[in-house]
Amino acid sequence: MTGNGYMGFRGTLEEFGKEQLAAVTLAGVYDQAGGKWREPVNAPNALFTRLSCNGKRLGVLDAEPLSHSQELDISCALHKRETVYGISGGELAFTAERFVSMDQLHVLVSRLSLTATADCRIELETGIDSEVWDINGPHLYGLQERHTKGVLLAEAVTGELGLQVAVAEMTTCHFEAGETSGEGGARRFIAFDVKAGEVYEWYKYAAVYTELDCSEPAESAVQNIRTAEAAGYGQLLAAHREAWAERWKRSDCVIEGDAAAQFALRYSIYQLLIIAPTQSEKVSIPARGLSGQVYKGAVFWDTEMFMLPFFLHSDPATARNLLMYRIHTLDGARRKAAEYGYLGAFYAWESQDTGDDACTLFNVNDVFTGRPMRTYFRDKQVHISADVVHGIWQYVAFTGDDSLLADGGAEVIWECARFFYSYACYNPVKRRYEVLDVTGPDEYHERVNNNAYTNALVRLTLEVALQSAELLRAKYPERYEQLAGRLAGGPFLKEFREMLAGLYVPQPDPQTLLIEQFDRYFILEDVPLAELKARVIHPNEYFGGGNGLATTTAILKQADVVLMLNLFKSTFSQEVKQANWEYYEPRTEHGSSLSPCIYALVAADIGSPDWGYPYFMRTATVDLTGESKQYVGDLYIGGTHPAANGGAWMAAVLGFAGVLFDGKVLRVQPALPELWTAVEVPLSLHGDSFRLRVSREEITVSAAAGNREALKVSGCGSRDQLCQPGAMLTLRTAGAAGASAAE
Amino acid sequence: MTGNGYMGFRGTLEEFGKEQLAAVTLAGVYDQAGGKWREPVNAPNALFTRLSCNGKRLGVLDAEPLSHSQELDISCALHKRETVYGISGGELAFTAERFVSMDQLHVLVSRLSLTATADCRIELETGIDSEVWDINGPHLYGLQERHTKGVLLAEAVTGELGLQVAVAEMTTCHFEAGETSGEGGARRFIAFDVKAGEVYEWYKYAAVYTELDCSEPAESAVQNIRTAEAAGYGQLLAAHREAWAERWKRSDCVIEGDAAAQFALRYSIYQLLIIAPTQSEKVSIPARGLSGQVYKGAVFWDTEMFMLPFFLHSDPATARNLLMYRIHTLDGARRKAAEYGYLGAFYAWESQDTGDDACTLFNVNDVFTGRPMRTYFRDKQVHISADVVHGIWQYVAFTGDDSLLADGGAEVIWECARFFYSYACYNPVKRRYEVLDVTGPDEYHERVNNNAYTNALVRLTLEVALQSAELLRAKYPERYEQLAGRLAGGPFLKEFREMLAGLYVPQPDPQTLLIEQFDRYFILEDVPLAELKARVIHPNEYFGGGNGLATTTAILKQADVVLMLNLFKSTFSQEVKQANWEYYEPRTEHGSSLSPCIYALVAADIGSPDWGYPYFMRTATVDLTGESKQYVGDLYIGGTHPAANGGAWMAAVLGFAGVLFDGKVLRVQPALPELWTAVEVPLSLHGDSFRLRVSREEITVSAAAGNREALKVSGCGSRDQLCQPGAMLTLRTAGAAGASAAE
């Protein structure tokens, strides 16, 4: 897959169309058709190209090629294919190279060529393929195709919102050819005679605009495509490469000693870079990135909890965009809270453009009856609001950029706290606030009481609500008065303080050190995972929902308590973290791709990186092996896994390299897996740039010369040391000979 | 079926055994075998008798008889059969008449005879059949069979509790015969020559005792059987008839003008009389009476809410026994509350001898997968505790016998109130107590919030807790101090008052007058019942549970809001009752046999008895037509339906005859169905005896001469009039010519 955050382009071949699931998936443009699920819009594909040789079609679907190769250069998101076909009297080699420009986000470009060992007559059918593949479409209506002064243009409007979508295309041939337009309007038919041994090369330029970008998308697309064509392929590619080099410079993580892990991690980072919304604060990253319409193109907690850390450490501006998206969708969250009779903001479990919830009450079909199954993702997974607060607060602490609070972040935080105040209830016998009837991260257990993860995050929300109020009042007093004034009727700070003082958050048992995932979890059937799997009747049956196999057992879908321990790692002892890791790990089914990375992270945290290494590799290779779940019930859930991609980065950098920055001190507590000799990673901390290198012997922090502040660093529990701008600081690791934590 | 409250005897034939499901089901004796459901114990069958003629077995299972008839005399629970078999050279007529003595509760008796049109040789195999049929057995171990001085004795002990069970038998023949004992020990083989035209008669006497009755059940059984045999069949039958006459005198309800309704109602009353625990306060009435082991022989809310009214009006002593059973099982209810982390008493959804809950968390199997389905009968149907309180308070108000409170009733009430105090939670935003996460009577909707029925009953519980405290303090001050002292630590009266003041109970919408069954019920899919049924895939699929068809729709299993309206009929306007009847009636699937009677009752209440009449007939004929649900999932739920039997009585007397006694005034507001010209029924009110006759023109109340007090009577809303002991009071009905409510 390639992409640039504005659009994603699937790794299909030039001659592929709708049936082969070719798609140009647009970020943030959603449409609902015929009462089906709302999903992202795919644009017409302007890179479509089909060959015929001597009147016979050439393409991998038409004839078995003599050879075929495809290549993806992840250093710059360049997709290449070379296919050799047998033709009358010889062979014909066809190559195509394409990219979605990282420099000009609306532009796609490709360079195509052919050469043959025998003379032949070639016809190219190229232009814009407006036959768009959709899962729940069609989404584009009133298609108009034009050919004006060498530019093909396809225009349409989306069904629900009536948004114009325009795609323009130009093709330039570096050889003599006769071109005719087809009946369809946006097709070119280019015919020419090929001489054996000569190379025939041509270029395609495409531009995509929608009414979300500008008021006249067609004009912008045409203008943009003319400019691009004038610049030419070489210049466009150079600018694209440069933009990619900049991205990698800020984010590449080097693993020494383990080429497989290195490749998998880089592939994971690549997946994040091609979907990062670098230029828009109106979109965030969907659970399947821009790889298609799966999961409705919706944004889940995945972004804040699994992807945000990568962007915080490498690209804070994009991290800010991700959080601004939540600020822009606050009204949707307010509507959802009101719908359920609560105050404040209840963020969408599946968020699209407005923040209204795209999640249905029947998100999975029962494989045994084919009937929709009532699930409680939408209405009970209240932790989403706390996850958003956690993300905002992480950003503010991490970057020091508290303007986000004034720009709406504080309002989001307070509205989420108000939501929890209205959701929680007071138990007069136990004299405490409880959070009842929720679904935690472990979605196999719906509607549980006092989920440890949820309650801990609710507590954080209340704390952050109080702290952000203090911060805003001190630094942006006018803004504070304005925002706080609206909430003065309460519940507000007074109620938050009361609730915080009385909130029940499950704690480790003094004997076993275990934290119960939710009330009465420990009395569930404690069946071994293998035995549970032996009970499966249908390969795609969902383990959760109404009658799911796991629901009445202790088997969990994904890290829940352990995820909470990772979020609050500084507040729990190693013994507690280890006891819970050991207890929950064998009981985790990893039915979510979000799960394994957390076990890797906490394994590293408790000094057992080799327990975590297989989980890291599983996470980092999820989009290489394709070994993820493809179905939940009869619902297809394939595509890329950005949360796992982010999780792979977290496991490597925050886990094995042991990076922990709280906005004040960079603490480094490495725990490298057996194969790894060192990890090196660039870090953007509080707006300054650093390189960190962690080996078995030492920790080295290099500060960029242009940094504004000295950074406090602590390695393996040593006392804080300052790393001045332009300086390099070296610390001995705990594992190095003679070193000790007390040193 | 026959029975006497101590045991039930199914309507099987004399020659039937285990395979034909013959059973002598004992009230209150439970056993668990092999991890299966705990269920009532069936005793060995001492009425077993098998005939052979000329060496060939005669029985309906062995040969097609020439004729066969069976008859049940419900005036005295006498079962008769006559079967004519073809034999070599002629016919043989076999008759058997039997009863379970209502006079001597341990005794069963039968009279058998035969006569033939051709000489033949007969062998009787009779005695005690210890091959006991069980659903989840075996329950009897260490069987010992003895033959001592003409008495056969079978003794065994139950597996779980080791309770001795003893059955003794005597057979006396009024003719010459040779008898030998069989190898089995407890069998007799009686051979004799039959002469054509002569009648051969013999008698069987049996007695059943368990260790719950006395310390030496075998001795008691033998002694009892000898006494019975000495008294003889005629005397035993006469005493039995007399006891039955007394029962009917107190309870027979005469319907004039509708023979079908009359018969169905009498049959319903009969079903209640054969299972009423007249002599024991340690047992109550199971949901399937004593008709077998279905539903684990467990006692549900059925008793308090559907059967108690019949006993309150006809047999207050038995009503008291039913409530004492709840007092005796309070500790079980306390254990259940503690198990779930609550205070006070959470009564068992399925109660047996100890009050511990026999209900499992997996009460139904999914027909599609065969897997146990998690249901929430046990842990969420909290209204059971309120139903018990309602029953106790009804008894006290109705009979004036407040000694029940001192005998433990007050403790039950307070513990139930304490339970609800700990179950409810306080919503600080809405400033009210709410009862969340419950299952109401409509079990198709599990885990709902603020179920109107449940919340109204919780309010009643709190009110009764306060009122009973006042009453006890005033009349039994020492007992009050003793009981209240234990609860002084709270929550107690102060907290009950607070909760009562702040409790949310759903009210009629001012516009539509509808009461929402629970929070967000009105937004469920409003599918017509027929359409829902058209979605059925498997004939036995359960509509509730995890993925049940009805769970996400507005279709309800049984009366829920309408049941609440019936319980609190004086506090709602006719308009509210009518609006809710009309709304909920078409949405009710009547998946419970408890449902139709409530629609009949409320139809009468709103002056539309003919809307209710079909529901009355459906209720009253449930055990005549056999048209009740036989399966829930793959669980057999057949048997008799005492709650529907009680419901039929309620519909006739409290519904159509319009009887409402609040302990002070007898209000009569008749609404007779079209066919009915009058209803006449004996009533026991506040310990005094009355006969009420309601016709279309007038209401007549006759007070027994021995009554202690004058009764206040109000007919059709007239002002109260006094009916003195021995007097007869006649009131014109609202429907009578010239009569009016204001008259």
Q: Is the dihedral of CA B231, B234, B236, B242 positive or negative?
A: negative
Give the model confidence (pLDDT) of A514-561 as tens digits: 999 999 999 999 999 999 999 999 999 999 999 999 999 999 999 999
CA atoms within 13 A on the CB side of A173: 18
Residue A740 pLDDT > 50? no
Rounded CA separation A608/A615 (Å)? 12
Give the gap in angstroms from C-alpha B343 to the nearest C-alpha of chain A: 9
Cα A273 to Cα A295, A309, A651, B718: the distances in Å are 20, 13, 18, 84
Cβ of B341 and A519 within 8 Å? Answer: yes
Give the gap in angstroms from C-alpha A522 to the nearest C-alpha of chain B: 13
Q: What is the pLDDT of residue B740?
A: 37
Q: Looking at chain B, which residue has its C-alpha nearest residue A548?
A: B546
Catalytic residue among A14, A443, A446, A541: A443
Rounded to 5 degrees, what angle do the CA atoms A190, A193, A199 make?
A: 90
Q: What is the pLDDT of residue A25?
A: 97
Query: Residue A733 — very low, low, confident or very high, per pLDDT cuts 50/70/90?
Result: confident
Do residues A256 and A270 make contact, with C-beta atoms less than 8 angstroms apart? Answer: no
DSSP string, A694-739: EESSEEEEEE-TT-SS-EEEEETTPPPEEE-TT-EEEEE-TTSTT-
Do residues B556 and B591 make contact, with C-beta atoms less than 8 angstroms apart? Answer: no
DSSP string, A422-437: HHSEEETTTTEEE--S
Cβ of A369 and B547 within 8 Å? Answer: yes
**Average pLDDT over every residue of A66-95:** 97
Rounded CA separation B103/B717 (Å)? 43
Q: Looking at chain A, which residue has its C-alpha nearest residue B541?
A: A369
Chain B contact residues (CB < 8 Å to A): 341, 343, 361-362, 366, 368-369, 371, 373-374, 421-422, 425-429, 434, 436-437, 447, 491, 495, 519, 535, 537, 545-549, 551-552
For chain A, state the CA radius of gyration.
27
Residue A77 pLDDT > 70? yes
Cis peptide before A309 (omega within 30 of 0): no
Chain A contact residues (CB < 8 Å to B): 341, 343, 361-362, 366, 368-369, 371, 373-374, 421-422, 425-429, 434, 436-437, 447, 491, 495, 519, 535, 537, 545-549, 551-552
Catalytic residue among B125, B350, B411, B443: B443
Structure token pair of residue B72: 């049940």
Placement of tokens 């950098």 in the chain: A653
Cβ of A426 and B422 within 8 Å? Answer: no
Widest distance between CA atoms in chain B: 91
3-state secondary structure of B158: strand
Q: Looking at chain B, which residue has its C-alpha nearest residue A429?
A: B422
> How many beta-carbon pairs below 8 A join chains A and B?
80
- State yes or no: is B697 an active-site residue: no
Please choose, from the candidates B123, B131, B118, the residue with its C-alpha nearest in 3D space to the C-alpha of residue B56: B123
Cβ of A426 and B425 within 8 Å? Answer: yes
Q: Which residues of A touch B546 (CB under 8 A)?
A: 545-548, 551
Among the partner residues A371, A495, A549, nearest to B547 by beta-carbon distance: A371
Question: What is the edge-to-edge ordering of all strands in the sheet holding A49-53?
Answer: A56-58, A49-53, A120-127, A187-194, A178-181
Question: What is the edge-to-edge ordering of all strands in the sheet holding A659-661?
Answer: A659-661, A665-668, A711-715, A721-723
Give the gap in angstroms from C-alpha B405 to the nearest C-alpha of chain A: 26
Query: Residue A628 — very low, low, confident or very high, per pLDDT cuts 50/70/90?
Result: confident
3-state secondary structure of B383: helix
Do residues B75 and B244 make contact, with C-beta atoms less than 8 angstroms apart? Answer: yes
Do residues A472 and A479 make contact, with C-beta atoms less than 8 angstroms apart? Answer: yes
Give the gap in angstroms from C-alpha A724 to the nearest C-alpha of chain B: 51
A231-235 long-range Cβ contacts below 8 angstroms, 24+ apart: A232/A203, A233/A109, A233/A111, A233/A203
- Return all residues near B78 (Cβ < 8 A) that are at least 6 apart: B2, B72, B97, B98, B99, B237
Rounded CA separation A433/A450 (Å)? 10
Rounded to 5 degrees, what angle do the CA atoms B597, B603, B607 make?
A: 145
Give the model confidence (pLDDT) of A224-274 as tens digits: 999 999 999 999 999 999 999 999 999 999 999 999 999 999 999 999 999
Most A-contacting residue of B435, B438, B547, B552 (CB-CB within 10 A), to test interface? B547
Give the gap in angstroms from C-alpha B425 to the nearest C-alpha of chain A: 5
Among the partner residues A369, A429, A519, nearest to B491 by beta-carbon distance: A429
Rounded CA separation B522/A102 (Å)? 51
Cβ of A436 and B434 within 8 Å? Answer: no
Rounded CA separation B83/B67 (Å)? 6
Query: Residue A500 — very low, low, confident or very high, per pLDDT cuts 50/70/90?
Result: very high
Query: Residue A178 — very low, low, confident or very high, per pLDDT cuts 50/70/90?
Result: confident
- pTM value is 0.94
Could you write out the three-class secondary structure of A203-252? EEEEEEEECCCCCCHHHHHHHHHHHHHHHCHHHHHHHHHHHHHHHHHHHC
Instruction: Please state the ipTM of this predicted complex.
Output: 0.91
Q: How many residues does chain B have?
A: 743
Nearest-10 Cα torsion for B540, B544, B546, B550: 100
Give the gap in angstroms from C-alpha A420 to the nearest C-alpha of chain B: 11
- Which helix (H) or strand (E) element contains residue A136? none
Give the model confidence (pLDDT) of A285-333 as tens digits: 999 999 999 999 999 999 999 999 999 999 999 999 999 999 999 999 9
Cβ of B368 and A369 within 8 Å? Answer: yes
CA atoms within 13 A on the CB side of A695: 11
Q: Which residues of B touch A551 (CB under 8 A)?
A: 374, 546
Q: Which residues of chain B have pLDDT under 70?
A: 182-184, 735-743
